[in-house]
Structure 1
Amino acid sequence: MIQVTRKTSISLCMIVRNEEKNIKKCLSSVRALVDEIVVVDTGSSDNTKEIAREFGAKIFSAAWEGDFAKARNISLEKATKDWILVLDADELISPKDHKKIVEFLSQTDAVGVALITRNYTPDSRAAGWKSVEGDEYAESQGWVGWYENFKIRLFRNNPKVKFSGKVHESVRDSLKSLGKIVALNVPVHHYGYFDKQSMASKGKVYEKLGAEKLNESNDWRACYELGRQCLHNGEVERALELFARATELNPNDFKSWFMLGSAYLLSNANDALDKAIEALNASLKINPNYNATYTNIGIAYAKQGKTKRAIEFFKKSISLNNKDANAYKNLGICYQSIGERGKAREAFERALELNPSLKGKIKLD
């Protein structure tokens, strides 16, 4: 274990319910990093609390009121250290990153720190998906790949800092007035998307809370979040309405345009492909470096029979992310459709190298 001289202290704050399968691994991963563990349990009927006690956690019970922010704020009130780290039970931080985190917190003048969340999933259609091939972290071994996003995970312990939002809760709004928020290139390893049964049961709950949040706030981010949840739940038309509304409320968010275009790819409307390309191009104008946008434009052109144009976009996507199995798979399909069997085989083989779970979905000539 790497030892570091501490100039600051950290409280881990968690909310949990029936997490006996996950919480031990989570707490083991940060035991040497944090100085205090605060766990707010919202009604576990398994051994979650008993396992947390083994790690010396301070455990508090709170009735679940259908509000993630409210539950998380209870945990913040119980924290006593300089900084707060927020994790869920199905997340880990590699011990190899402990020193980096402690040294950074000891030197920074920021009030909040965003870390990279690696969402592990075998579904290489996920936007920004990357294969685990060649990855340096032991925590990724045995998995297939991930897509990532930044979340504020660390922030100074200040009574003015509060979570807001019944779902997809964040401290962003309360931190803005207190100082700067910076990013640190350290991943949080998230494994929850492999539990399909759990994700399915949570999906409708998140949608209900997301709708309540939107009714209360009516802002673009709430539209975007609810749109993503509706799309995940298979409600394409409702998702389209929400993403369109998000782009109206904030025309400068590239991901809202990206999700609008991506949802059109799943729509049965006659002009859906043209609208998909239009929205995705709007996303590119804001952020030309997001490889998944090029992949989805390529898919739209391929569906329109514009194969050579589609190939150009798949190649561009791969130039930005050469670990995207979905881009290689679609490139292979295009080459196959125009009789370029050698190039198709090469693309398919690379897709299978990056994501072996595609075996059976790809036919090699």
Structure 2
Amino acid sequence: MSMKLPISLCMIVRDEEDMLSGCLASAEPYVSEIIVVDTGSRDETIPIAESYGAVVVRAEWEDDFSGARNRGLELAEQPWILVLDADERLLPCSEQVWERLLSPQQTTLGYYVTLSSLTGDVSQPAEIRDMVCRLFRNDPQIRFAGTIHEEAATSITAIAADGIGIAYCPIVIRHYGYLDEMVTRRDKITRNLRLIERALHLAPEDPVLRYAMGAESFAAGRMEQAVEWLAPLAAELEAELATELATECNGGLAAGCLVDGSADCSAESSADDGSAGSGYGSDLFLKLSHAYRQAGRLAEAVEWAKRGVRMYPDFPDLYEAAAAAHLTNGQPVEALFAYEEAIDVGTSPPYYTSAPGAGTYRAMYGAGLASEQVEQWVQAAAYYGRAIQLHSAYYPAWERLLQMASCNEPVWAAVEEALAHYSALLQGSGGVPDLKLLELLTDLPAEKATVLLLQLLPLTSAAEDTACSPRDMLAGGAALAAAGRWAAASDRFASAARASASDPLLARAAAFGLAASFAARSRAHAVAARNPAGERSASLPLLELEAELLVRLLIAIYQG
């Protein structure tokens, strides 16, 4: 940024020495002021915050997230406020976008930003996207509410005049706090359940708290308990919204103002406009359906997904929830129909909490699974191919497609088409094949693996040496690999693969050589991307060892 923006970054922290620096580094280039409310850190959190020029305020923790948040808002001096947690990162955004968002001509009081939460195992995380109001004007009337799962949108909507409210914007925040490692280490679920139970004791009929208890029970894997909390609330919400949702979408979260997007920025959009189920209704039905399915109550899972669809017909995740229950229940025809409905709906609108690929590549993958169960192999391959066309790194689709191709010749054309698309993407971007895909390819029979691996690497020079035997080409490739000359090695292995098609042993050796070469180049590419200044990654020796092991396997096959 050429200059700081008129924004105060407000945070609450406690014992965040592992995460805080990354968060502050992501936001510091944009904000003019950093305010950190520390609720009792015993590690290096405070010195880290102060090293970024933050104003640090020590406050007693009173089991109230809103109270701690509002303490920081009271100290902010800039006209706009951005709220982050230590386990979040503000992703880069252009200066032009920021200028439009904060322009004096803008009449909005706040903005919904995209919260991209990574979940599951850190090595292969899933992603959930939600819209949250984290950027808003510095106004004493705008404050957080809620002991837990606190939000400021309600207070913004309460003071908004006609045509002024909360708009959608392209800012993205990446959230790491729901990764399994983080959840286990911090025992977030236990803490959250304790806070919700305390709040429910004071307000037992509060629908937001009841939803929060059901959602936390779901996150804890207590599916029957989740059903007990969510099912009565869903029935109440269904009755309240029966008429209201005939004209409104998602209980007040209507598709509204997109700043720097495709929609006109004249309509107000709010997650909390006072209507029933504001901000959580669609997710309530989705979680309830999944809870029933995971509890083994499959008919009820389908029923509640369909009841949700009637109120939120543009929410593809609900169609997929019904499909998943049908598939678990051994009803592939019904599942296929539901997945096709999700595909017809397409990408989820921004006002829903949705999983990436819902209505697109994820639904196509599900349709492929359903097609396999009715032995429609070519149709299944077509669905997997469409999923890969939309998301070339969606490995569940690659895995099913390649497994089918290894024993089902009619689907081989779909594999070649998918790989041709992937290869064209690589050539267009100058990238290298992904390691996971290489692993999947080398699991195929040698002759098939070789054909596909060759498709990924056009020869870079006059690499063919017809004077050399395939064994000499393999030996030359192994020598080049041992010297770290992976590009040249891959050319030799490619030549060997072309020359040894009639010898299964040599073809397999060539395939492993190509895979090893690709692996080393892909690893180097990834390390370089992570270390643009040329720093050596601590994990690089291990990565080199993995590549060396592949080469040793190649040599063993060659010599055998």
TM-score band by shorter chain is 0.7 to 0.9
Higher relative contact order (CA 8 A, sep 6+): 1
Q: Which residue of 2 aligns with 1:277?
A: 302
Q: Which residue of 2 aligns with 1:364?
A: 403
Q: Which residue of 1 aligns with 2:316?
A: 291
Aligned-pair CA distance for 1:361: 9.2
Q: Which residue of 1 aligns with 2:117?
A: 119
Q: Which residue of 2 aligns with 1:176?
A: 157
Q: Measured at CA, do residues 263 and 144 of structure 1 come closer, stay the same or move farther in structure 2, by a change above 3 Å?
A: closer
Aligned-pair CA distance for 1:362: 9.2
Secondary structure of 2:159 counterpart: coil
Is the 1:18–1:44 contact (alpha carbons within 8 Å) kept by the matching residues of 2?
A: yes
Structure 2, unaligned runs of 5 or more = 242-280, 348-355, 405-560
Task: Give the counterpart letter for 2:285 in structure 1.
Answer: W
Q: Structure 1: how far apart are the matches of 2:62 and 2:399?
A: 45
Secondary structure of 1:161 counterpart: coil
Q: Structure 2: how far apart are the matches of 1:235 and 1:345?
A: 36
Is the 2:112–2:132 contact (alpha carbons within 8 Å) kept by the matching residues of 1?
A: yes
Q: Which residue of 2 aligns with 1:52?
A: 49
Q: Which residue of 1 aligns with 2:133?
A: 152
Identify the match of residue 244 of structure 1 among 211, 231, 249.
231
Q: Which residue of 2 aligns with 1:311?
A: 336
Q: Which residue of 1 aligns with 2:195?
A: 209
Q: TM-score, structure 1 length as denominator?
A: 0.84
Identify the match of residue 257 of structure 1 among 274, 285, 310.
285
Is the 2:4–2:32 contact (alpha carbons within 8 Å) kept by the matching residues of 1?
A: no
2:112 aligned with 1:87: no
Identify the match of residue 189 of structure 1 among 174, 186, 197.
174
Q: Measured at CA, do residues 171 and 199 of structure 1 come closer, stay the same or move farther in structure 2, by a change above 3 Å?
A: farther
Residue range with higher mean Cα deviation, 186-195 or 316-325: 316-325
Residue range with higher mean Cα deviation, 91-100 or 304-313: 91-100
Is the 1:273–1:300 contact (alpha carbons within 8 Å) kept by the matching residues of 2?
A: yes
Aligned-pair CA distance for 1:82: 1.0
Is the 1:223–1:245 contact (alpha carbons within 8 Å) kept by the matching residues of 2?
A: no
Q: For residues 160-209 of structure 1, what are the alpha-carbon distances to aligned partners after superposition, in whole Å with 9 as ceiling and x for unaligned?
A: 22211111011223222211222223211212222524356111111121
Q: Structure 2: how far apart are the matches of 1:354 and 1:284?
A: 30
Q: TM-score, structure 2 length as denominator?
A: 0.56
Is the 1:122–1:357 contact (alpha carbons within 8 Å) kept by the matching residues of 2?
A: no
Identify the match of residue 24 of structure 2 among 27, 30, 46.
27
Q: Structure 1: how far apart are the matches of 2:236 and 2:216?
A: 19
Q: Structure 1: how far apart are the matches of 2:124 and 2:48?
A: 25
Q: Structure 1: how far apart are the matches of 2:94 and 2:120?
A: 25
Q: Measured at CA, do residues 47 and 318 of structure 1 come closer, stay the same or move farther in structure 2, by a change above 3 Å?
A: farther
2:215 aligned with 1:234: no
Residue range with higher mean Cα deviation, 299-308 or 282-291: 299-308
Secondary structure of 1:63 counterpart: coil
Is the 1:220–1:247 contact (alpha carbons within 8 Å) kept by the matching residues of 2?
A: no
Aligned-pair CA distance for 1:72: 0.9
Q: Which residue of 1 aligns with 2:108?
A: 110
Is the 2:8–2:77 contact (alpha carbons within 8 Å) kept by the matching residues of 1?
A: yes
Structure 1, unaligned runs of 5 or more = 124-141
From the two aligned structures, give the one with the greater helix fraction: 2
Identify the match of residue 372 of structure 2 among 336, 345, 351.
336
Aligned-pair CA distance for 1:347: 4.4
Q: Measured at CA, do residues 44 and 359 of structure 1 come closer, stay the same or move farther in structure 2, by a change above 3 Å?
A: farther
Task: Give the counterpart letter for 1:327 in structure 2.
Answer: A
Q: Structure 2: how far apart are the matches of 1:231 and 1:287?
A: 21
Q: For residues 259-313 of structure 1, what are the alpha-carbon distances to aligned partners after superposition, in whole Å with 9 as ceiling and x for unaligned?
A: 2222111123xxx222222211111111112111111111122233321121121
Aligned-pair CA distance for 1:77: 1.6
Residue range with higher mean Cα deviation, 73-82 or 114-123: 114-123
Is the 1:237–1:267 contact (alpha carbons within 8 Å) kept by the matching residues of 2?
A: yes
Q: Structure 1: how far apart are the matches of 2:370 and 2:180?
A: 33
* Rg larger for: 2
Aligned-pair CA distance for 1:363: 8.3
Task: Give the counterpart letter for 2:177 in structure 1.
Answer: G
Residue range with higher mean Cα deviation, 350-359 or 219-228: 350-359
Q: Measured at CA, do residues 196 and 5 of structure 1 come closer, stay the same or move farther in structure 2, by a change above 3 Å?
A: closer
Task: Give the counterpart letter for 2:79 in structure 1.
Answer: D
Aligned-pair CA distance for 1:30: 1.5
Task: Give the counterpart letter for 2:199 in structure 1.
Answer: K
Aligned-pair CA distance for 1:40: 0.8
Q: How many percent identity over aligned positions?
A: 29
Aligned-pair CA distance for 1:96: 2.2
Q: Measured at CA, do residues 192 and 62 of structure 1 come closer, stay the same or move farther in structure 2, by a change above 3 Å?
A: same
Task: Give the counterpart letter for 1:292 in structure 2.
Answer: D
Q: Measured at CA, do residues 202 and 189 of structure 1 come closer, stay the same or move farther in structure 2, by a change above 3 Å?
A: same
Q: Which residue of 2 aligns with 1:139?
A: none
